[in-house]
Amino acid sequence: MTQEKFIKNNTALITLISACGVVLISLGVRQVFGMFFMDFKEDLGISLTQSGLSIGIQMLMWGLTGPIFGVIADRYGGHKAIMLAFLFFIAGVYFLYAGPNTGIFFQIDMGILIGIGLGGTAISIPMAVVGKHFPLSNRTIAMSIVTAVGSFGYFLSPLLTEYSLTQHGWQSTLLAFMVALFIGLLIAYFVRSPSLEQNPEKPSDQGTLDALKEAIGTRSYLLLVSGFFVCGFHITLVGTHVPTYVIDRGLESWTAAAILSLIGLFNIFGSLLSGYLSTKMSKKIILSAIYSLRGVSIMLFIFLPASNINAFIFGASFGFLWLSTVPATSGIVAHIFGTKYLGLLYGIVFLSHQIGSFFGAYLGGLFHDLYGSYDYAWYLAIALSVFAAIIHLPIKEQPVLRLKTE
């Protein structure tokens, strides 16, 4: 018995490599905006609540535009959707760098424009395009590779950003971001959707509205949408507010950069393991375990004494669980509904994620300004871990009747 070939053709290989490059740059830039908050406060007069709100808006725009870019990718090709999104991303960083960048313009630059850019460049669209090139047997592994390489951006970017902010200031750092994003724009040209001959699935004549009705009428899909809200709340609360939180607890700013880098480093292993395990066992059990362990990681972080060692343990443990939800979640969507409208249907799941991200970013800053600490935000994150661990268990991991009868 011969083993199935992992890479079917050159287009699949080039798309996989290019998608990895796109996500590495996009997620690397997105991950470190929380490190700018103190500079924005001093130079632009932006409060933590305003900064948190801008990230919240960014997350919402990322989620709201994800399905739109998904439709563009499903219909016109992944490269066109991603390149268009990069133009918005570059514009947002440029205006944040050159101005106007205070008051409402700060929210437009950081929130709306960068959020739209993330909607087509970060994770969901590149990964959905990659998923269309691979059959069910190894689709989650291919998706986890994209997620893992994006995690290397999470690892590298905080270290480079901390150095650049210290040596050159926030404006020069944003200028470097623009160069990186332009490189991402060029790479995006090679993230190509498969042709009919290259697609491993049988062609389907299902329309977009029919796909939406089918998904909304599927209970397991609605449970998945609800659970992914928690993932967004967790990672945006941590990614946005941990830099301020560790300083509040008496640690140095470099400790925050180390935490974010450790998250990126260990997420590489967590994402790859999640993708591999998703081919061997129930994806919903994997997701339930991930959310449970996140709650444990947060509790240890906030209740143990503040120290660099405990901070590093949190970065490593939470990083291992960071984007490990993505291969299993997207894999369930593709398994239930097929890949024809994967960009759209996963985009809707991701919208729920970004609504959670909005609350994680905004409530973190709001609670800190109201009560002088992040305690209530962390308590809410722990409660949501329990909710997510429970709500994934009733999901039925089986194709819809349409796919069974085709």
For residues 281 and 327, the answer to whether their CB atoms sit within 8 Å is no
SS3 133: coil
End-to-end CA distance of the chain, in Å? Answer: 27
Distance CA 327, CA 3 (A): 22
pLDDT more than 70, % of the chain = 95
pLDDT digits (tens, 9 = 90+) for 380-403: 999 999 999 999 999 998 887 766
Q: Tokens 């790479």 label which residue?
A: 187
280 phi and psi angles, rounded to 5 deg: -115, -25
Please report where in the chains the tokens 């700060």 appear, as a residue. 106
User: Would 276 be classed as within a structural domain?
Assistant: yes
Give the per-residue pLDDT at 2: 41
Cα 139 to Cα 145, 154, 224, 330: the distances in Å are 10, 23, 19, 10
Helix (H) or strand (E) holding 291: helix 283-303
Position 87 confidence tier, pLDDT thresholds 50, 70, 90: very high
Helix, strand and coil content of the chain, in percent to the nearest 5, comes to 80, 0, 20
**Residues belonging to the chain:** 406
- Other C-beta atoms closer than 10 Å to the C-beta of 343 total 30
Query: Degrees (nearest 5) of the Cα angle 5, 11, 12?
Result: 45
Mean pLDDT of 181-191: 96
Distance between CA atoms of 251 and 383, rounded to whole angstroms?
A: 26
Least confident span in 67-71, 78-82, 342-346, 392-396: 342-346
Specify the pLDDT at position 191. 94
Do the domain assignments include residue 6? no
* 248-284 pLDDT per residue, tens: 998 887 888 888 888 888 988 988 898 889 888 899 9
**pLDDT at 21 > cutoff 70:** yes
Query: What is the CB neighbour count within 10 angstroms for residue 288?
Result: 20
Domain for residue 2, yes or no? no
Mean pLDDT of the 332-352 span:
84
Element housing 351 (H / E): helix 342-371
Residue 14 has pLDDT above 80, yes or no: yes
- Categorize the per-residue pLDDT at 293 as very low, low, confident or very high, splitting at 50, 70 and 90: very high
144 in any annotated domain: yes
Q: Considering the chain, what is the average pLDDT of its residues?
A: 88
Q: Residue 10 pLDDT more than 90?
A: no
- pLDDT, residue 1, reads 35
Higher pLDDT, 91 or 347: 91
Which among 184, 99, 140 is positioned nearest to 283, based on CA atoms? 140
Q: How many domains does the chain have?
A: 1
352 is a domain residue: yes
Which of 16-30, 318-332, 383-397 is predicted with the least confidence, judged by mean pLDDT?
Answer: 318-332
**Is residue 400 assigned to a domain?**
yes
pTM tops 0.85: no
Alpha helix stretches (DSSP H) within 77-169: 78-98, 104-106, 114-121, 124-131, 139-167
Give how far Cα 354 sits from Cα of 58, 61, 76, 97, Å: 9, 8, 25, 25
Q: How far, in Å, CA of 277 to CA of 144, rounded? A: 11
Alpha carbon 372 to its chain centroid, in Å, reads: 28
Residue 305 lies in a domain: yes
Identify the pLDDT of residue 38: 83
Give the pLDDT confidence score for residue 5 in this predicted structure: 67
Q: Look up residue 181 and give its two tokens.
A: 């994003």
* Domain containing residue 375: CATH number: 1.20.1250.20
Q: Are 260 and 159 in contact (CB under 8 A)?
A: no
Query: What own/partner pairs with CB < 8 Å and gap ≥ 24 does 137-140 have?
Result: 137/4, 137/279, 138/4, 138/6, 138/279, 139/331, 139/334, 139/339, 140/274, 140/275, 140/278, 140/279, 140/283, 140/327, 140/328, 140/330, 140/331
Q: Which residue has the tokens 């990230």?
A: 55
CA 203 – CA 225 distance, rounded (Å) = 26
Do residues 220 and 287 make contact, with C-beta atoms less than 8 angstroms apart?
no
User: Quick one: which of 73, 23, 61, 115 has its CA closest to 343?
Assistant: 73
Axis-axis angle for helices 10-31, 114-121 (nearest 10): 150
Full residue range of the structural domain in which residue 175 is found: 11-196+206-405
pLDDT in tens, 108-162: 999 999 999 999 998 888 988 998 888 777 777 888 888 888 878 878 888 899 8
What mean pLDDT do residues 316-333 have? Answer: 89
Count CB neighbours of 224 within 10 A.
28
Q: Give me 30's structure tokens.
A: 């997105």
Between vectors from CA 328 to CA 325 and to CA 332, what angle results, nearest 5°?
135
**Residue 1: inside a domain:** no
Model confidence pLDDT, tens digit, residues 214-249: 888 889 999 999 999 999 999 889 988 888 899 899
